[in-house]
Amino acid sequence: MLKKSLLASSVAAVLSLGVMPAMAEEVAVVEIEEEAEGPNYVSATVGVSNLYLWRGLNLSDGKGSGSIYGSLDWSHDLGFYAGVWGASGDGSLGTEYDLYGGYTFETGDFFADIMFANYVYPEQDDEPFGDNTGSDVIVTLGFAGVEGSYTKRIAGGGYDDAYLTLGYSYAQFGATLGYQHFADYEGDGEDANYTHLDVNYAFNDNLTFTVSKVVDRNSDAGTLADVAPDATLFVVAYDMAFDL
């Protein structure tokens, strides 16, 4: 029996499913156990959620729209992987698809991963994504249920930002604390940051419930209070994984 870990987003990867949307960064780790022949594996995911959750924020832009998302992933026994993830539901940037690849290493209860992700918004031509794309590098380390990650923008449009997470999972329960930093948030030399807490409960392999809340922010950073409000977000996501 072979156990493989696929980092799929929501890109927004990894990209965290605070809920699946958002590979656009948070790293979602999908574990699949299967009898397999050969070193290469191909799988797919498809899912739906009541809103687009990304780093503690509701990207549905308060419009109450849900999100449909899916991915196609390839991985190798040596630890290399690549994939594409797409989603609807972003109220500001529109449809999104993400291309990503990386390497993951596992031994016992420890794992390490490095991922490169490119986010593309075909409908977006304006700032902050003037060239409608951006690229991040994501480094993740985990041991015995504890997991931490660091994400840094390395190319393309968007803010010069960094994102850190620290989380713990046990059985069906999990909690993640995330810290988002924007450099020169509004072009006036002022930085902005906020911290959010996500608490997850996996009812089964497909159905996940998440409560997310921004718990701290530097309130003097222009419109950050509008971007990262105090409202508590409740997210329900249903997704399925398939071996191809």
pTM of the model: 0.81
pLDDT in tens, 24-64: 444 334 444 444 456 889 999 999 999 888 899 888 866 55
- Long-range contact list for 35-38, CB < 8 A, 24+ apart? 35/1, 35/2, 36/2
Cα distance between residue 34 and residue 192, in whole Å: 45
Q: How many other β-carbons are positioned within 10 Å of the β-carbon of residue 141?
A: 13
* Nearest of 73, 153, 68, 143 to residue 113 by alpha carbon: 143
Task: Give the residue ranges of the chain where pLDDT is below 70.
Answer: 1-38, 61-64, 124-131, 157-160, 184-189, 219-227
What number does CATH give the domain 2-243?
2.40.160.40
- Residue 112's pLDDT is 96
- Residue 19's pLDDT is 39
Q: Domain residues of the chain, as ranges? A: 2-243
Handedness of CA 66, 155, 175, 147 (dihedral sign): positive
Cis ω for the linkage preceding 122 (within 30 of 0)? no
- Residue 91's pLDDT is 75
* Nearest of 97, 86, 96, 19 to residue 51 by alpha carbon: 19
- Residue 223's pLDDT is 58
